[in-house]
A and B are shown apart, each in its own frame.
Chain A
Amino acid sequence: MIGDGAHVEFIAWAYAGVAVLTLGLIGYVVWDLSRVKARLAALDKAGIRRRSERDAQ
């Protein structure tokens, strides 16, 4: 178990900082992917596709 709590605020700040930045990083990566996918979907909707995809249709 966590000890006598002498340094609990340092431990709490360390874990909270890691959690915030790590979750923020995960959120950024997911947001960036969805943004690029939305851009590709908009291009596709406008009829702008790769040659291989056009040929496949």
Chain B
Amino acid sequence: MSVTPDTKPALKPLKQPNWFSRLAHPGQFLVWSRYLIWPLAIISAVLFAVGLWFSFFNSPDDYQMGDMVRVMYVHVPNAWLSQFVYALMAASALGTLVWRHPLADVANKAAAPLGAVFTALALYTGALWGRPTWGTFWEWDGRMTSTLVLLLIYLGIIALWRAFDDQLKAGRIIAIVTLVGALNIPVIKFSVDWWNTLHQPASVFTASGPRMPMSLLTPLLIMTLAFTALFGLLQVVRMRTEILRRRADSLSRQAALQGGGA
């Protein structure tokens, strides 16, 4: 008995990717992200120029810390970014594990060195701020120790990315490591509330709003926006670099296979 075309099961139409999936395609990302680079560079440069002018020439001395308050304008933005970048990496890790998003592990890999530098700068400026105000560069208190642990986690993630040849396999393993390390973020945030620490409690991101005058808050917010715009710029460039690197790796492998088979 012959099978007529009518008896063939109808093929289910392929589900069209939504706009987010289309934008997230690595090839598409390379196209549209190009238009972000110059605007982010200009925004970041302008904010840095204004923020530095405020920091050096238009900021009053603090009534307790005197002119050391100027260190706050570089310390707090880096401390904020050290946690923000990690939160972004944790979200990327979820994207890798739950949705198998094609750009999630690229974002994780791109962000790790940036987060490590911001964390190192937060520790460095914090130590320089601590010496005249607390009398010591370092103290093993909750906030400082948990931030040092964050730096070590960043360095571990960077080392793991370098240890694997198979980047897809590395992405899944590092996503799990990143999510485990994310437990440290609330510890950093609430360390000043949970333990009796040398570090002051939160004075910007509090439930009742910032606890500082506008004259100090303005340069702080401008510098925070400047560093955040810089991070956005560097993250876009690093993600583009990583996509191109994977493309080059794939082409090199293809060439090696063709060369071996000839």
Contact status of A17 and B125, CB under 8 A, knowing A36-B244, A43-B252: yes
Q: Decide: B255 and A40 in contact? CB cutoff 8 A.
A: no
Q: For this complex, into which size category does the number of interface residues on chain B fall?
A: 35 or more
Which B residues are in CB contact (< 8 Å) with A13?
128
Q: Which of chain A's residues have a CB closer than 8 A to the CB of B255? A: 43, 46, 48
B74 and A15 within 8 A (CB)? yes
Q: Mark B91-128, 1 if CB is under 8 A from A, else 0.
A: 00000000000000000000001100100110011001
Decide if the interface of chain A is mainly helix, strand, loop or mixed: helix
User: With A and B bound together, what is the CA distance between A50 and B241 in angstroms?
Assistant: 17
- What size tier do the contact residues of chain A reach? 20 to 34
Which residues of A, 9-43, contact B by the 8 Å Cβ criterion? 10-11, 13-15, 17-18, 21-22, 25-26, 28-30, 32-33, 36-37, 39-40, 43
> In the complex the two chains form, is B234's CB within 8 Å of A36's CB?
no
Q: Please give the distance in Å from A5's CB to the nearest CB on chain B.
A: 7
The residue on A at minimum CB distance from B56 is A2
- Give A35 to B201 CA distance when docked, in angstroms: 44
Q: Measuring CB to CB, which residues of chain A are less than 8 angstroms from any residue of chain B?
A: 1-8, 10-11, 13-15, 17-18, 21-22, 25-26, 28-30, 32-33, 36-37, 39-40, 43, 46, 48-50
Residues of B within 8 A of A (CB): 56-57, 61, 66-68, 70-71, 74-75, 78, 113-114, 117, 120-121, 124-125, 128-129, 131-132, 230, 234, 237-238, 240-241, 244-245, 247-248, 251-252, 254-255
A sample of 23 inter-chain contacts (CB < 8 A) reads A1-B57, A2-B56, A2-B57, A3-B66, A3-B67, A6-B66, A10-B129, A11-B67, A11-B68, A11-B71, A13-B128, A14-B74, A14-B75, A17-B121, A29-B234, A36-B248, A40-B244, A40-B251, A43-B248, A43-B255, A48-B251, A48-B252, A48-B254
